[in-house]
Amino acid sequence: MAARDPMPNRVVRVSDDDWSAYQEACDDKGISRSDDLRMYIKKEIAAHRRRQREQRDVNAARTIAES
């Protein structure tokens, strides 16, 4: 059985002009578009999880207050 690719290719739809401008932006930062996208995705996941934890804390405090 073949090993699974831990980072398979994904398809995204981006205009050619935006993709070229994004390449320039990434070149200026000294990073590849793929690395930049992965960092952005990880940042968004972390923020989402933080919001979820905060909401659970609010719900728990509300439950305690209402008891």
pLDDT digits (tens, 9 = 90+) for 7-44: 899 999 999 999 999 999 999 999 999 999 999 999 99
pLDDT score at 2 = 65
Q: Is 35 a member of any domain?
A: yes
Residue 1: per-residue pLDDT: 60
Rg, Å, the chain Cα set: 19
Contact yes or no for 33/23 (Cβ under 8 A): yes
Tally the domains of the chain: 1
In a domain, 30, yes or no: yes
Q: Confirm whether 44 is domain-assigned.
A: yes
Residue 37's CB is within 10 A of a number of other CB atoms, namely 15
Residue 63 sits at the vertex; the CA angle it makes with 62 and 64, to the nearest 5 degrees, is 90
> 61 or 22: which carries more pLDDT confidence?
22
* Residue 4 included in any domain: no
Query: Whole domain around residue 34: which residue ranges?
Result: 16-66
pLDDT computed for residue 27 by the predictor: 98
Q: Is residue 10 part of a domain?
A: no
Q: Which helix (H) or strand (E) holds 37?
A: helix 33-66
The model's pTM is: 0.75
Residue 4 is predicted with a pLDDT of 82
Whether residue 2 lies inside any domain: the answer is no
